[in-house]
Amino acid sequence: MPTVRLFAQAREAAGTGTDVVAGRTVGEVLDAARERYGPGFDAVLATCRVWCNGEPATHADPVSEDDEVAVLPPVSGGCA
């Protein structure tokens, strides 16, 4: 099963930074993660970028057991 890596608010909403989630496509993996982690995670996911193996991903992209799906919330900040 693909490994899901969660960062920042996505990690906080899910309660974990790494998990293994079943799915044949990025979309199926994200749907399973939504179901597992609930509405708080779903709300954060709506603002996130998703990458597969270090490349921008779409929901239709296929995944295999060795793939890594990363969920990256927007980053804010600036100079002090």
Question: Position of tokens 């992209």?
Answer: 61
Q: Which two tokens stand for residue 63?
A: 């995944």
Q: Which two tokens stand for residue 64?
A: 């295999």
Instruction: Provide the 10 A C-beta neighbour count for residue 63.
Output: 24
Q: What is the CATH number of the domain that holds 36?
A: 3.10.20.30
The domain containing residue 61 runs over which residues?
3-72
- The model's pLDDT over 13-42, given as tens digits with 9 standing for 90+, comes to 999 999 999 999 999 999 999 999 999 999
**How many domains is the chain partitioned into structurally?**
1
Does the predicted TM-score (pTM) go above 0.85?
A: yes
Please give the DSSP secondary-structure letter assigned to residue 1: -
CA gap 76, 28 in Å, rounded: 28
Instruction: Provide the 10 A C-beta neighbour count for residue 52.
Output: 19
- The model's pLDDT over 53-78, given as tens digits with 9 standing for 90+, comes to 999 999 999 999 999 999 999 875 54
In a domain, 77, yes or no: no
